[in-house]
Homo-oligomer: A and B are copies of this chain.
Amino acid sequence: MPLTPETLSTLEAQSIELPSWAFGNSGTRFKVFATAGTPRDPFEKIADAAQVNRFTALAPTVALHIPWDKVDDYAALRRHAEDLGVTLGTINSNTFQDDDYKFGALTHHDDRIRRKAIDHHLECIDIMDATGSRDLKIWLAEGSNYPGQADLRARQDRLQESLQEIYARLTGEQRLVLEYKFFEPAFYHTDVPDWGTSYVQVAALGERAMVCLDTGHHAPGTNIEFIVMQLQRLGKLGSFDFNSRFYADDDLIVGAADPFQLFRILFEVNRGGGLQNPDVVFMLDQCHNVEEKIPGQIRSVLNVQEMTARALSVDGDALDAAQRANDVLGANAVLMDAFYTDVRPALAEWRESRGLAADPMAAYAASGYQEKIAADRVGGVQAGWGA
C-alpha cells in the first residue's frame, strides 16, 4: 500500500523529542545494570541522541533533566547540540532526589522546603531562557505512603500556590506542562494522580499551562485515547510522554506492550488535530534497563512513526459512514484494516527517497558508533538516575 502525499507530508513534519536520561543507565529498585559506552555527561548524552536523529530524521530535539543535565555553560551545550543537528527541548525539573523532599516539595508544609522547590523551578526557567526551550515539564513524585501521613487537601492548595509562583515567572512563549501519575514512588496517595487533577491545577493557572500525558501513568484498564480526546477538546493537551507497560509504570519501548493501543492513541491525536498542532509535543520517556539504549530509542521513534502512518491511513469517510449506520463490525473493520496494513515497506522506500537508510536499526548497527563509544567512554561515572 502506497502512502498518500498527505500522509507523507504529515510524517515529514513529525518530530519526537528524546529524553537525555534514556541514554544513561536506569533500572529497578533491585538493580541498575551498567553497560559499556554509557554517557558520562550531558554532552555525551546529546551526542547519542543525535545518532537517533541521524538515522531517522525523526528526533531533532532533546529534553533535559535538571539537575542531571546541569552544566556550567548552557550556551555551549546548545551549540554542541546544534553542531550535531539537534536542539535542546523541554526542561524537566526534579524534586525527587534530594533528602529535603522526602515528604514533599511543591506541596510541603514546611515553607523552607517548598521555597527551595519553587526556586528550583525558577532556576529551570532560567535554564530555559539560556537553552531557548519553550516548555517546563513538571512531574511530581510527591505523595504519602500511609493513610493519615499527609493532609491531602492542604497539599493540593499549596501545590496551586507553588505553581502560580512558577507560572508567573514564565515569559513569552514559555509554557508549564504538568504531568500526572497514578502511583509510584508514593504508594498511598499521589498529589497529581490523574488527568482531572492535572487539568484543574493548570486550568487555574492560565493559557500557557498544559497537561502532560504519560502513557504509562494510568490505572489498569484506563482508556487512554479517551483522555487524549478530552484534553484536546479542552485545549489542554500539552505533551506526551510515550512509553509502554504491561503492569505499572514499566517505561518500556513505546508500542512494545500494546501496539494496538498506540494506534488508537495516535488515531485520536490525529482526529483532534494534534498531529499538525505544534502545541502537542511528542516526547519519549522510557528506561532501557536491559536493552541497548541508542537502538532502543531508534526503535521507539520508528514505532511512533509507523503507527502514525497506520493511524493516518484510516479511511475517515468510510469510518464516518459506518458509525452513522451503527454498523459496529464495519466501523471496527475500517480501523483494523489500517492497523493491520503493513506500512513498513512504503516507509522504507520513502526513507530512502529522503536520503536515509531504509532500515535505520541496521544502519546504526553498521555505523560502528556503538563500538566506538564502548571503547572511548571508559572511566568516569556513567550517567544514571534513581537511587
- A-side residues, CB < 8 A to B, are 26-34, 96-97, 99, 102-103, 109, 141, 144-153, 156-157, 182-185, 187-190, 193-197, 199-200, 218-223, 225-227, 229-230, 232-234, 245-248, 250, 252-253, 256-261, 264, 268, 271-272, 289-292, 295-296, 299, 306, 319-320, 322-324, 326, 328-329, 331-336, 339-342, 344, 361, 385-387
Query: Which of these, B182, B232, B253, B291, contacts A221 with CB under 8 Å?
Result: B182
Q: How far is the CA of A259 from the CA of B340 in the complex (A)?
A: 10
Min CB distance, A362 to chain B, in Å?
10
Chain B residues within 8 Å of A387, by CB: 27-32, 386-387
Kindly list 14 other residue pairs between chains A and B, CB separation below 8 angstroms, not including A147-B260, A151-B323, A182-B221: A31-B387, A146-B328, A147-B335, A149-B328, A152-B225, A152-B229, A183-B247, A188-B223, A193-B226, A200-B230, A219-B219, A219-B221, A248-B248, A342-B342
Closest to A198 in B: B196
- A189 pairs with B223, CB closer than 8 A: yes
Min CB distance, A171 to chain B, in Å?
29
Min CB distance, A203 to chain B, in Å?
9
Q: How far is the CA of A71 from the CA of B178 in the complex (A)?
A: 48
Chain B residues within 8 Å of A234, by CB: 200
- A328 pairs with B196, CB closer than 8 A: no
Chain B residues within 8 Å of A291, by CB: 145-146, 328-329
Chain B residues within 8 Å of A295, by CB: 329
Q: How far is the CA of A53 from the CA of B367 in the complex (A)?
A: 53
Min CB distance, A366 to chain B, in Å?
14
- Given the known inter-chain contacts A149-B332, A187-B252, please indicate yes or no for A103 contacting B196, CB distance below 8 A: no
- Given the known inter-chain contacts A148-B319, A247-B184, A387-B386, please indicate yes or no for A233 contacting B99, CB distance below 8 A: no
- Given the known inter-chain contacts A221-B183, A229-B153, A295-B329, please indicate yes or no for A259 contacting B339, CB distance below 8 A: yes
Chain B residues within 8 Å of A30, by CB: 96-97, 141, 185, 385-387
Chain B residues within 8 Å of A226, by CB: 152, 189, 193
Q: How far is the CA of A188 from the CA of B290 in the complex (A)?
A: 12
Chain B residues within 8 Å of A289, by CB: 145, 185
- B344 pairs with A340, CB closer than 8 A: yes
